[in-house]
Chain A
């Protein structure tokens, strides 16, 4: 069974640009959550999508948004990039939003 797949693995952007990250969950999983990992703030919850609806949201500005498609694949978008957005973005999927969550290998975003 394929795991959670995140693309791309690495991204380099400049300040002010926007970026879209993609996550394909484990087959049959309907919940996708996104987390940001930085050396300073650690692992922080961004949001969760279930059946194409945002069900839960962390404490991040509106520049961070996401969506989920009917096949449960999810995308995360960050607009007007700032240097502080440099991080490893992790996606996790689960059957229904409960536990356990299965993580992908992440997308490492670097802002120049």
Chain B
């Protein structure tokens, strides 16, 4: 079974400050890892994904995440927050290399950006 833990249901940063959203996963097999963003009254938009290869993954809107197998972590960062980054962020995992590809989501982190 897989699970995802997102530390901090709410994170508040000032505009221009570093954004760090934490994600730890549990999986018996190497997983695929994802970050999604959800704006109010919208669906989920993929920010970035890790499947294989380079462990530092760059995504859209200046976000990046690093897969650390030893720490079972996949934290999301952005060097400088913008007001438009205010949204809810979800970390997700899916099994790799199998037919069962359903996503298991964390509980989400709501990012607030202060002017």
Contact assessment for A42 and B34 in the assembled complex, using a CB-CB cutoff below 8 Å: no
Q: How many residues of A contact B (CB 8 A)?
A: 25
A1 to B108, CA, bound (A): 29
Point out the residue from A33, A43, A58, A103 that lies within 8 Å of B45, measured CB to CB. Answer: A103
Check if B32 sits within 8 Å of A56, measured CB to CB.
no
CA distance A92 to B46 in the complex (A): 11
User: Closest approach, in angstroms, between the C-beta of A94 and any C-beta of chain B?
Assistant: 8
Binds A, one of B13-21, B62-70, B72-80, B93-101: B93-101
Q: Is A63 interfacial (CB 8 A cutoff)? A: no
Contact of B107 among A42, A45, A56 (CB under 8 A): A42
Query: Is A70 interfacial (CB-CB < 8 Å)?
Result: no
Cβ B51 vs Cβ A58 within 8 A: no
With an 8 A cutoff between CB atoms, is B25 at the interface?
no
Q: Are B101 and A99 in contact (CB under 8 A)?
A: yes
Judging by beta carbons under 8 Å apart, are B101 and A56 in contact?
yes
Chain A CB within 8 A of B104 CB: yes
A66 within 8 A of B: no
Shortest CB-to-CB span from A55 to chain B, Å, is: 7
Residues of B within 8 A of A42 (CB): 105-108
Tell whether B28 is near chain A: CB-to-CB under 8 Å.
no
Return the contact of B49 from the options A33, A90, A100, A102 (Cβ within 8 A): A100
- List A contacts of B42 (CB < 8 A): 105-106
Cα A97 to Cα B97 with chains together (Å):
12
Contacts of B107 on A, CB cut-off 8 Å? Answer: 42
Beta-carbon contact of A56 and B105 below 8 Å: no
Kindly identify which residue among B44, B49, B92, B99 contacts A97, using a CB–CB cutoff of 8 Å: B99
> Is B41 in the interface zone, CB < 8 Å from A?
yes
Query: If the complex has contacts A4-B43, A90-B44, are A101 and B103 also in contact, measured as CB distance less than 8 A?
Result: yes
Known contacts A43-B92, A94-B101; 9 additional CB pairs below 8 A are: A43-B105, A43-B108, A45-B102, A48-B101, A97-B99, A99-B51, A100-B46, A101-B103, A102-B46
List residues of B whose CB falls within 8 A of some A CB.
Answer: 32, 34, 36, 41-46, 49, 51, 90, 92, 94, 99-108
